[in-house]
Amino acid sequence: MSHKRIPKRKAAIAVGGVAALGAAALLLPNANASQSNGDAATPRTFAANDVSDVASMLASQLGDAFAGSYYDAQHKQLVVNVVGNNSNVVNQIEKAGAVAHQVQNSTAALQTAAKTLKADATIPGTAWSVDPKTNEIRVTADSTVTGDKWNTVESTVKGLGSGVATLSKSAGTLKTFVDGGDAIFGGNARCSLGFNVTAGDGTPAFLTAGHCGVAAAQWSDSANGAPIATVDQATFPGDGDFSLVKYDDPATQTNSAVNVGNGQSVQINQAVEAAVGQQVFRMGSTTGLHDGNVTGLNATVNYPEGTVTGLIQTDVCAEPGDSGGSLFTQDGGAVGLTSGGSGDCTAGGETFFQPVTTALAAVGATLGAGDAGAGDAGAGAGDAGAGGAVDPSASAADPGAGDAGAGAGDAVDPSASAVDPGAGGDAVDPGASASDAAGAGTGQNGTHHRSRKHQ
């Protein structure tokens, strides 16, 4: 892997890896803009990034009648669930350009059911989230949940009543994706970087998974390399899976971009809320670029290390080493940070993500490079064709594409034809499990806050 160091340590971190051809072909430079039809009763067409604001407004206006919402990607419409048949409620929804859908379960009823699951079925290997498309809670149990554990989960779901929750079995194992080949290295763990941000004190930093932040205090841009960044805050398990890592050199300048392979990058413009039904893309150095859809919100996942709440559930695949990597939309909306899940990119499975909006609010950071990197857009992501369509002919990427010292425009060697199977092999014990690596610094408390060490 070759990369350049931009003068004055202008490091643009972007998640690297193999660009999957199917996802690359779908990643277009611009999403459809919202359109409004003159007739209030005729549903509007929405860009996926716009539906969360409208849904939040309607949730506030409708109160108890609001029972969730989702994005109908095929028709580009916002569907709003309502309890009861109140014509005034329906009129409010249609006036906002959305589609009203009458359902059985209220938001309060589903929240009560989730509390019952938490009290009676918090078993490692289980997860649940609300699926507004079915107006039910989707409960998943992985391959480790057997015997009495399975009976407990099954009886709890049945006890919630008809039409409240569904239970399915996953062939894989729910775990954090911390131990594969990727872009940033800390101790015996490796993770993917999510998004560059500006910390509350104005210094450059980046977001990654919380279980990465509690596994190691300092992170390097190469295997066995000198640390370039130090964990400032990390939360895992508990109310999320995110960490803020500050660059050790306060003069470091960064770009707000995600490297999607073959010298291409997508400029990140804003943090956006996830919406069920929304198409999203995930980038990680182990498996590269993959796409899928958001399938649930406010998910609870019971990892071996502990319970994590408030996550996004998707059908996008991921594997060890993708932890912390970026989940984003085709038009540059930052959605999430890879947390964990089950399965892999051969068999598929469920993957969970930390919402970027929640992480930013918790650590007091803002998305992007801020003033420090604003003048360098042409030197980093701009060189790579930020915002341009990904070349669908790309066959592979350099394994160091996510190298923390690489400029976004130079992060991937386009001449590389295969991933180096030995990349970063010294960084992780091949016999170590993902949970071993992730739990290296967890201790006993659910939430961990590391103070930035003196330089």
CA 177 centroid distance within chain: 12
**Is 241 one of the annotated active-site residues of the chain?**
yes
DSSP annotation of 273 reads: -
- Alpha-carbon distance of 159 to 156, in angstroms, equals 5
The catalytic residue among 241, 291, 322, 398 is: 241
Beta-sheet pairing, 136-141 with 165-169? parallel
The catalytic residue among 3, 101, 211, 448 is: 211
Distances (CA, A) of 284 to 13, 14, 139, 302, 350: 12, 9, 26, 23, 16
- Alpha-carbon distance of 352 to 176, in angstroms, equals 9
Neighbours of 391 (CB within 10 A): 18
Q: What is the identity of the amino acid at 24? A: A
- Alpha-carbon distance of 265 to 199, in angstroms, equals 23
CA dihedral 137, 141, 146, 150 (to 10 degrees): -10
DSSP letters for 141-183: E-TT--HHHHHHHHHHHHHT-TTTEEEEE-SS--EE--SSS-S
For the record, the structure tokens of 150 come out as: 């399975």
The catalytic residue among 106, 323, 342, 435 is: 323
In 3D space, the residue among 209, 408, 212, 210 whose CA is nearest the CA of residue 326 turns out to be: 209
**Is 323 one of the annotated active-site residues of the chain?**
yes
- Alpha-carbon distance of 444 to 384, in angstroms, equals 44
Which of helix, strand or coil describes residue 415?
Answer: coil
Contacts 24+ apart (CB under 8 A), 418-426: 419/17, 419/18, 419/181, 420/1, 423/1, 423/181, 423/223, 423/399, 424/181, 424/182, 424/185, 424/190, 424/223, 424/399, 425/181, 425/223, 426/223, 426/224
- Alpha-carbon distance of 435 to 300, in angstroms, equals 17
In 3D space, the residue among 188, 187, 123 whose CA is nearest the CA of residue 157 turns out to be: 123
Give me the active site residues, please.
Answer: 211, 241, 323
